[in-house]
Amino acid sequence: MTAAIRTDQLSKHFFRLQALDRLALEVPEGAVYSLVGPNGAGKTTAIKIFMNLLAASSGQAEVLGRDSRHMRGKAYTQIGYVSENQEIPEWMKVGALFDYLRDFYPTWDRDLEDSLIKQFDLPRDRKIKALSRGMKMKLALASALAFHPKLIVLDEPFGGLDPLVRDQLIEGLLERAQEFTIFLSSHDLAEIESFASHVGYLEQGRLRFSEEMTSLTARFREVELTFDVERPLPSPLPPTWLQAKSAGAVVRFVETRFEQAETEAEILRVFGPSKDACFRPMTLRAIFLAMARKSGEA
């Protein structure tokens, strides 16, 4: 599978602040890739480098097979970019914006434009500055979808939106997700869990992991062991176990490399036989909290 976005040792620093540290990322074509991480992790910086809005300090990024440093002009006819920070020309009316944009894209689909305007309830004759934040995001997304892009890049698209608008946006995206690759950044894990096919976790400029959602959720488990008597935590614990805690006869931890048989064998080796062992699947939120706490402890 070819990559829609690929980075190699991508770094960016602002004076002494290291915003991105040797980022190595690959977004497969057709994926819905979500780059998550806390505020200030470097998500927006990475996206700005992909879109050639910022220059990398070192390393390189390729977007749709093109060096991101050469992203300009015609290259944007294949990419739809939506950011919460974008300054849309607010003096225009909604219809005028579409009229204006139409001539820039050879692949602009007038029927799709009409359908998106209808789907997102966008008022053609209203000035953009009179629109709510949610409406502006819908407008930006509609304008980014109407030309059948190969790649949609969304930078914190759902931040501060009410659930209804968020669902409308996600629905609008997913209806056409088979047409393009979606790359989005977010710090709201619940909203991406339902539709992301791949996920990357960025923290302090470093990519902690990047993998398919199914693989991620499959390898994380919250393990709860019940023993007959109080069982203190031995030291050292296997490195794949996080947040291990002992409360009387109960031991809990997060297994980051869950394989039923192997995990059970490891538990037996560390603790001996247990009365009961429970392996609970984890939400994306729980996984990231565990990861974040681990790095916090480190």
Partner 1 sequence: MNQTLHIFRKDARHHWPEILLSLVLLILYCWKEVREEYPERFYSSLSIIPWLEFVPILLPVAWFLLIVRLVQDESLVGDRQWWVTKPYQWPSLLTAKLLSFSVWFCVPVFFAQCFLLRAAGFAVTPHFAGLLYNQFGIISVVLAACFLIACLTRNLGHAIIALIGLFLLMTGFSSFERFEPNPALQPIQGVSDMLSGIVAVTASLAVVLWQFARRKTVHTRSVFLAAIAATWVIQLATPYHALMEKKYPVASVQDQPFRMALRSEPLGKPANPPQKDPKNIFLRIPVEVSGISPGNFVTVDAQQLTVEDSTGAKWQEEWTGGSGQWWPENHSIWSMLSVKNSVYQKLKSEPVKVRLEMAVREYHLEDPREFRVQEGEFRVPTLGICGTRIPLRTDLICRSPFVAPPFVATFDPASAKCPMEPDKTLQGSSPLRSANLGEFGQRSLISPIATSNIHFFSYLPSLSPLNPPKSQNICPGDTIGLSTPVVSRHVRVEVLLEPVKMEEFRVVPAQFVESVTVGTF
Binding site for partner 1 (CB under 8 A): 48, 51, 53-54, 72-77, 79, 81, 83, 85-89, 91-92, 100-101, 103-105
CB of 79 to partner 1, least distance (A): 7
CB of 103 to partner 1, least distance (A): 5
Tokens of 176: 């056409």
Between 81 and 220, name the residue whose CB sits nearer to partner 1.
81
Between 16 and 269, name the residue whose CB sits nearer to partner 1.
16
Between 64 and 267, name the residue whose CB sits nearer to partner 1.
64
CB of 80 to partner 1, least distance (A): 9
Q: At 105, give phi and psi (nearest 5°).
A: -115, 120
CB of 62 to partner 1, least distance (A): 17
CB of 89 to partner 1, least distance (A): 6
Number of other CB atoms surrounding residue 257 within 10 Å: 14
Between 105 and 279, name the residue whose CB sits nearer to partner 1.
105
Tokens of 153: 């890049």
Residue that the structure tokens 């806390």 belong to: 38
Nearest Cα residue to 46 out of 209, 200, 213, 212: 200
Between 83 and 168, name the residue whose CB sits nearer to partner 1.
83
Residue that the structure tokens 């931890």 belong to: 253
Cα separation, 55 vs 271, in Å, equals 52
CB of 208 to partner 1, least distance (A): 26
Between 43 and 231, name the residue whose CB sits nearer to partner 1.
43
CA 275 vs CA 242, 271, 278: distances in Å: 21, 11, 10
**Which residues, 6 or more positions from 82, have their beta carbon under 8 angstroms from its beta carbon?**
137, 140, 141, 144, 152, 153, 154, 155, 157
Between 91 and 265, name the residue whose CB sits nearer to partner 1.
91
CB of 137 to partner 1, least distance (A): 13
CA 284 vs CA 155, 219, 266: distances in Å: 19, 12, 24
CA-based end-to-end distance of the chain: 36
